[in-house]
């Protein structure tokens, strides 16, 4: 497999269907099991575009494929988005507390994409 094919596989694992044109409603829809509500998701505070990394999975992982690949060794975390479907990820662990209004706590580990997270059931 060439380096270009390897990169396309990594890119598809990160973004999945996110690279296809979708409506605003489709982009803001959050799956029942989303990376953004997982304990292992660490949001990128600098970009604040919904991007983040997984604390367990590393680059080369793929949770969007029908046959997910889990790479747990390496230095660079697996880049994912808050609304990525994590239903196929065996490392998913739902958070107990999600700060939806920005005033519950100041710990960045509990802050999530607030506008989108308001739509989740409490």
Q: What was the pLDDT predicted at 19?
A: 52
Question: Is 70 exceeded by the pLDDT of residue 2?
Answer: yes
Question: Would you say residue 58 lies in a domain?
Answer: yes
Whether pLDDT at 69 is above 70: yes
pTM of the model: 0.66
Residue 38 makes CB contacts below 8 A (sequence gap 6+) with: 54, 86, 89, 91, 92, 93, 94, 95
For residues 73, 52, 92, 66, the Cα torsion angle rounded to the nearest 10 degrees is -80
Q: What is the mean pLDDT of residues 45-70?
A: 84
Higher pLDDT, 82 or 48: 82
- Residue 76 maps to a domain: yes
Residue 42's domain spans which residues? Answer: 3-117
Tokens of 44: 């990128």
What is the total count of domains within the chain?
Answer: 1
Is residue 122 in a domain?
Answer: no
Mean pLDDT of the chain: 76
Q: Is the pLDDT of residue 104 over 60?
A: no
């Amino acid at each position: 497999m060439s380096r270009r094919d390897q990169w396309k596989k990594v890119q598809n694992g990160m973004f999945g269907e996110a690279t296809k044109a979708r409506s605003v409603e489709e982009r803001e829809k959050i799956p029942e099991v989303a990376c953004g509500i997982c304990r292992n998701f660490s949001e990128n505070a600098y970009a604040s575009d919904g991007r983040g990394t997984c604390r367990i999975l590393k680059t080369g992982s793929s949770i969007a494929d029908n046959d997910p690949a889990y790479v747990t060794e390496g230095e660079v975390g697996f880049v994912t988005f808050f609304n990525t479907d994590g239903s196929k990820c065996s490392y998913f662990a739902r958070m107990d507390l999600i700060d939806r209004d920005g005033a519950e706590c100041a710990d960045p580990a509990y802050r999530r994409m607030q506008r989108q997270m308001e739509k989740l059931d409490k």
